[in-house]
Amino acid sequence: MTAFWTEADFDDHELVQLVHDRASGLTAILALHSTHLGPAAGGTRFWHYPASMDAMRDALRLSRGMSYKNAMAGLPMGGGKAVILAPQDRAKTPELLAAFGDAVDALGGRYVTAEDVGISEVDMVAVSKRTQYVSGLPAQGSGAAGGDPGPFTAIGIYHGIKAAVRYKLGRDSVEGVHVALQGVGSVGGGVAQLLSKDGAKLTLSDIDEGRAAALARDLGAETAAPDAIMGVACDVFSPNALGAILDDEGIARLEAPIVAGGANNQLGRAGHGQKLADRGILYAPDYVINAGGIISVALEFLSRQQGQSGDINEVRKRLAQIPDRLVEIWEQSDKTGVSPDVVADRIAQKLIGR
């Protein structure tokens, strides 16, 4: 692994730690971007990377995004991320999760982890047996926050899509609005179900084409192949899979006036947000629209630290504020001519003292 501090995505991270436990087979990267507002919070990704530097880039980008996401959501949390380098067969053992929990605990509360791609609520319960610095644990009783953050992320994205449709298209309802969703897992599938209830027209795609087809049957939606979804003519393109899809090629393929979805790090590089703006495409900055999950798990963790149960109504209240933040960004972008992603970055950087 080459020097990570020479990477373009290294952004004065406070800590970047490589953890290797030979006995369990754990190899992980823990990246803390900022603790200016509080302990660095962000999920753990379990993924097989073709090259180790791909994992490092993911950890660096995702942890920075969490700093911005938590700041913009008004949470007293910094930004961090963990990436576990999964073997090719993606085998995950109790010993590996225990070793990872020990690595988190060794940071003494500077990092609070939760679920992300490849990690489940059950996995977080296993990790919590080794450290208290875990969120996304099962809710304790009715009306309590907690559990899988995916559905809360989906609710926030749903609110954000409706705000984008209102802002760009002047429509107060998504009834009849055509939304093309890339990825229909925990988050994208939840977004699709919420939009379907409101009468939106949906085109679904997923690398698991069987999953997309099954959900399409349930919702009366259409499907598109994974390599075709970005070119579907629609009102909203909603990316809800992995990131960096909005590069030169991807942006050129878009046939939608709005991009609003839950994938992290959607823009390939700096400047791609401006390319969207140049095409007249309204972009919802990813870490603003997809903050629902971290809002849920952060409030759960903070409440538990005080010996209380997180209030689900407080989570819902904060999810409903996501559209207001997006509109503020879009209005400032229109006023200044600066693309929405840069507007959001500048606000977030100020909030974390940078």
Report the distance separating Cα 124 and Cα 118, nearest Å. 11
Record the tokens describing residue 25, joined without a space.
């087979």
**Catalytic pick among 69, 81, 92, 275:** 81
The rounded distance, in Å, linking the Cα atoms of 178 and 283 is: 16
Coil, helix or strand at residue 60: helix
Contact 301, 82 (CB under 8 A): no
Token pair 């030979």 is found at: 22
Contact yes or no for 149/123 (Cβ under 8 A): no
Note if 92 is an active site residue: no
- What lies within 8 Å, CB to CB, of 337 at 6+ separation is none
For residues 107 and 67, is the Cβ–Cβ distance under 8 A? no
What phi, psi does 41 have (nearest 5°)? Answer: -115, 140
Q: How far apart are the first and last CA of the chain?
A: 28
Written as one letter, the residue type at 150 is: G
- Whether residue 21 contacts residue 99, with contact meaning beta carbons closer than 8 Å, is answered with yes
Please count the other Cβ atoms lying within 10 Å of the Cβ belonging to residue 185.
18
Which one, of 72, 70, 71, 64, lies nearest residue 33 by Cα? Answer: 64
CB atoms within 10 A of CB 313: 10
Euclidean distance between CA atoms 205 and 209, whole angstroms:
7
Beta bridge partners of 79: 34, 41
Q: What is d(CA 108, CA 60) in angstroms, rounded to the nearest whole number?
A: 21
CA distance 64 to 4: 14
Cα(7)–Cα(2) distance, rounded to whole angstroms? 9
Rounded Cα distance, 291 and 289, in Å: 6
Active site residues: 81
